[in-house]
Amino acid sequence: MDLLALCVYAVPLAGITAYYVVRRQRTQRRHQRVLQEAVAAGMTEPASLHPVIDPVKCLGCGTCVSACPESSHHAVLGLINGKAALIGPTDCIGHGACKTACPFDAITLVFGTERRGLDIPVLKPNFESNVPGIFIAGELGGMGLIKNALTQGQQALEAIAKAGLRRAGALDVLIVGAGPAGLAASLAATEIGLSYETLEQEALGGAVFQYPRGKLVMTAPVELPIIGKVQFRNTSKEKLLEFWSEACSGNGLKISYQERVEAIEKKDGVFHVKTGKREIVASTVLLGIGRRGTPRKLGVQGEELPKVVYRLIDPEQYRGRKVIVVGGGDSALEAAASIAELGDATVALSYRGDAFQRAKQRNRQRVDEAAAQGRLEVLLGSQVKEIRPNEVILAHSGKELHMPNDAVIVSAGGILPNDFLKSIGIAVETKFGTA
């Protein structure tokens, strides 16, 4: 009887176990292929915040793999040899959900890698810089993801309120930047009741405003002050900016546009902030500006010509024109693909590297499809030598190419506003795979 009972329970259990083992082995083989493809393509350098897994602590439960918000689009994390691993480094955009989900505390979120450093301002846990009273949130602090920047903006403002640094005759806080971090901070200041003003050198949205028209913006649900929970997953730039505009007008946010901060000086315990229009006195300052304070230029002859620009606003303006896009990141690939997809422009994408290591998979796919259709010429390992009114000279494979040209879009990223940060005493350190 005991033997019969043992068979009744043991056989199904053995079957379930075998199914689980086979399924896990298949999953790991698939993840191994993804990693091998990434290595072969040179896609091994994460662009920003990303996880590092401690193999000693990791027990291979796979919780982090399931928790990654990008898992429905890309294989970012996977299981290899019974341990979690970053198998799609360039597709990691810094959600940080993996660290939160890990039950064994095996994940650390870091900036940069051993090969590629990332400049980050030195900040305390409450977002305060080494200059007492100046706080930093969002992209400048390394958080480029919209959801993370929104969350940080709110948290930084709450930290400012808790610090109690108010001074008579001064704003409680001056918020610099009306991107995601600045917008959330403005809402939080309104909700808490702090006196504040927000300055934006361009338009609402900051870096998001600069995205090309129609660009798909990847967002995630987030809790905002006053507004509450906002459910965004995939939306366009235009819809997101429309929502933000309604949030500003509906809540009376105090935002001044087209006003650039030129200098910040601390005197008598308060900050004197000079813009191109006036001087503002504030007890504290929250910097919610982007990292691309100044576009990175090529430094070649002819770059000053009016046909050279540093960001794509509307692909439509390039219909029927001969265009060269320079760069290997997401903005370059998006620009080249968007113009090529119009179907009536001659488009070339020039990049000095041998692979688009910093670009997301969906953008690489768009470029590959446009190239396969003959709408886009991809010139890897090329470099602009000179820009002329009617042509661009490229060095490619030991040869000099003279390409007829009407417009050049340089998407080579931006330079961290180090001079501005240095002028107000903020320390910056280069992270090589550290938190």
Tokens of 412: 């080579």
How many whole angstroms separate alpha carbon 362 and alpha carbon 74?
Answer: 9
Residues 128 and 271 placed together within one structural domain of the fold: yes
Among all chains, which residue has been given the structure tokens 């846990």? 125
- The mean per-residue pLDDT over the stretch 220-247 comes to 80
- The mean per-residue pLDDT over the stretch 390-412 comes to 94
Task: Note whether residue 82 is domain-resident.
Answer: yes
Q: Percentage of the chain surpassing pLDDT 70? A: 91
Residues 171 and 313 placed together within one structural domain of the fold: no
- The mean per-residue pLDDT over the stretch 182-200 comes to 94
Task: Note whether residue 99 is domain-resident.
Answer: yes
**322 pLDDT above the threshold of 90:** yes
Among 90-99, 117-126, 254-263, 408-417, the range with the most confident prediction by mean pLDDT is 254-263
Residue of higher predicted confidence among 17 and 158: 158
Cβ(301)–Cβ(151) under 8 Å? no
Residues 427 and 404 placed together within one structural domain of the fold: no
Residue of higher predicted confidence among 180 and 93: 180
Write out the residue range of the structural domain in which residue 63 sits. 2-110
Instruction: Kindly report the length of the chain.
Output: 435
Helices 361-372/330-340 angle, 10° precision: 30
- The mean per-residue pLDDT over the stretch 359-379 comes to 91
Phi, psi angles (nearest 5°) of residue 133: 100, -10
pTM of the full structure: 0.70
3-state class (DSSP) for residue 409 = strand
- The mean per-residue pLDDT over the stretch 377-387 comes to 95
Last residue of a domain, one of 57, 87, 110: 110
Amino acid at 141: G
Task: Note whether residue 303 is domain-resident.
Answer: no
- How confident is the prediction for the chain on average, in pLDDT? 86
CATH of the domain at 197: 3.50.50.60
Residues 268 and 397 placed together within one structural domain of the fold: no
Last residue of a domain, one of 63, 90, 110: 110
**1 pLDDT above the threshold of 60:** no
How many whole angstroms separate alpha carbon 306 and alpha carbon 227?
Answer: 43
